[in-house]
Amino acid sequence: AQAVFGLRWRLFDFGRVKAEVEFAKGRDAQALAAYQQTLLQATADVENAMTQLVQSEKQNAVLEDGVRSLAEARAAAFSAFQQGSVSFIE
């Protein structure tokens, strides 16, 4: 009698168990999708940071060239001033 009662209980309860299993699968799928989205966002953040780094390095090189050129121009102007080729005002 006990076995029959247990079997009947399972038959009537199967829909609830199946629903709980499906709910758990859905929750797992949602967690996986959120994790994948986090990975995609992290990858995009790294790519953006690397792009910004490359751009900053290029800008730094341009600015260093400008500083070097200005230093050379200053040295040439000061040398011309010392030789008397130009006045300080020019």
3-state secondary structure the chain: CHHHHHHHHHHHHHHHHHHHHHHHHHHHHHHHHHHHHHHHHHHHHHHHHHHHHHHHHHHHHHHHHHHHHHHHHHHHHHHHHHCCCCCCCC
Average per-residue pLDDT for the chain: 88
pLDDT at 30 over 60: yes
Q: What is the pLDDT of residue 63?
A: 98
pLDDT at 5 over 60: no
* Whether the predicted model's global pTM rises above the 0.75 cut: no
